[in-house]
A = this chain, B = another copy of it.
C-alpha cells in the first residue's frame, strides 16, 4: 500500500506498471568523520558506504570491502531493500552518479557518470564546495540525460547527509531544527548541534545562496537541485527516493526560485520515502515539504519488517535506520508492480542468511 504524505494519489498511480530507471547519487562529505555523527556505515570506513551500497544494488556483492556495510548496532544498509526490489521486479537499468567519492565503486557494465566532483570538507570547517559549478554540471546533465525507463527513481547514499541537509536548511533561513531525520533512533543532538552551530558560523550576512551552499552544503543536495531544475523542460517524471535529505533538495530549489522569482512545475516530480521516515516522531518530512511555496506529491511505502523475526531487520522498526539508497522509492516501485510485503521481506532476509 502506498500512502500519501502531501498532494494527491494521482501522480503515483499514473506510474503503476511503468518501468523505472534507478539513478544512485553517491557522495562523501568529511562531516561523516566526526565521531558519533552518523551510524550509516562502519566506523573508520564511513566513506566507503556509498561505494559499497552501489556495488551491492548493481551486482549483489561488495567488492571494496569484505562484508556489507553495517552500523555499529548491526543495522544493515537499506541497500538490501533496494537490491531485493531489483531482484523481484528489476529496474529497467541502474546508473551511478559519482558526486564526489573517495573510492569509486568497482563494477563493470554499469554506467558510472563522473562529473569531476571531489568529496567535500566537513561543514564544521566549511565544506568548500564549488556550489555553482556543481549546480551547473547538474543542469547540463539533466539536459543531456537519456533513460531507457519511463521515469527516474533518484536515490542517494551520503553518510552524514541528514546533518548537512539540516545545516543547509537552517542556513537558508528555514525553521527546521526539529524536522530533520537521522540514521539514529535518537539523533545525536549534542554532537549535531555543535557541528551545525560551527557550520553556521561560516555563513556571513553578505553571502548569497551559492556562497552559503558552498560552506554548509553537500554535493548531493546541490547537484540534485540543479538536476530537478534542469529537468523542468524535459518530459521525464522523477521520483526523489529519500527522506528529509531529498526534502532539503526542494527547500534549496524553493530559495533559488524565490531569488529568481521563478516557479516550479511540480507536475513531473514527486518524493517517495519509507514508513520509518514518514511516521518518525522525531522528524517531520511533511512539515519540511510544506515550507515550500509550491506543493509536491509525496508518498511513502506502507512497508515495515513486521513479517520477519530477524533481529537486524527488527532494528528498522525500532527506528535505528530509516531510509537511504532509494529504499523508499524502491519499495513504492515494488508495490506499484504487484510485489508483496511478504516477498520483499523474504528476499531481504535471504541476504542476511
Question: Could you tell me if B13 and A59 are in contact, using CB atoms closer than 8 angstroms?
Answer: yes
Q: Which of A314-345 contact B (CB under 8 A)?
A: 336-338
Q: Which of A86-130 contact B (CB under 8 A)?
A: 86-93, 107-110
A338-B90 in contact given A11-B108, A13-B109 (Cβ < 8 Å): yes
Interface 0/1 of A149-191, CB less than 8 Å to B: 0100000000000000000000000000000000000000000
A9-B337 in contact given A17-B91, A86-B16, A92-B17 (Cβ < 8 Å): no
Give the number of copies in the complex. 2
Find chain B residues with CB under 8 A from A60 CB. 9, 13
Find chain B residues with CB under 8 A from A338 CB. 87-90
Distance in angstroms from A254 CB to nearest chain B CB is: 23
Question: Is A234 close to B, CB under 8 A?
Answer: no
Distance in angstroms from A294 CB to nearest chain B CB is: 16
Question: Is A10 close to B, CB under 8 A?
Answer: yes
Nearest opposing residue in chain B for A107, CB measure: B10
Return the contact of A109 from the options B14, B86, B88 (Cβ within 8 A). B14
Question: Could you tell me if A336 and B90 are in contact, using CB atoms closer than 8 angstroms?
Answer: yes
Interface 0/1 of A7-51, CB less than 8 Å to B: 011110110111100000000000000000000000000000000
Interface SS majority for chain A: loop
Find chain B residues with CB under 8 A from A150 CB. 148
Interface 0/1 of A243-267, CB less than 8 Å to B: 0000000000000000000000000
Question: Is A219 close to B, CB under 8 A?
Answer: no
Question: Is A58 close to B, CB under 8 A?
Answer: yes
Question: Could you tell me if B108 and A8 are in contact, using CB atoms closer than 8 angstroms?
Answer: yes
Q: Count the A residues whose beta carbon is within 8 Å of the partner chain — how many?
A: 31
Find chain B residues with CB under 8 A from A61 CB. 9
Nearest opposing residue in chain B for A8, CB measure: B108
Question: Could you tell me if A18 and B93 are in contact, using CB atoms closer than 8 angstroms?
Answer: yes
Question: Could you tell me if B110 and A14 are in contact, using CB atoms closer than 8 angstroms?
Answer: yes
Find chain B residues with CB under 8 A from A87 CB. 16, 338
Nearest opposing residue in chain B for A150, CB measure: B148
Interface 0/1 of A57-86, CB less than 8 Å to B: 011110000000000000000000000001
Return the contact of A17 from the options B8, B9, B90, B109 (Cβ within 8 A). B90
Question: Could you tell me if A59 and B109 are in contact, using CB atoms closer than 8 angstroms?
Answer: no
Nearest opposing residue in chain B for A108, CB measure: B10
Distance in angstroms from A149 CB to nearest chain B CB is: 9
Nearest opposing residue in chain B for A337, CB measure: B90
Q: Could you list 19 examples of A-B contacts with CB < 8 Å?
A: A8-B108, A9-B59, A10-B58, A10-B107, A11-B108, A11-B109, A13-B60, A13-B109, A13-B110, A14-B108, A16-B90, A16-B91, A17-B92, A18-B92, A18-B148, A87-B338, A88-B338, A89-B338, A90-B338
Taking Cβ atoms with an 8 Å cutoff, the residues of A that contact B are 8-11, 13-14, 16-19, 58-61, 86-93, 107-110, 148, 150, 336-338
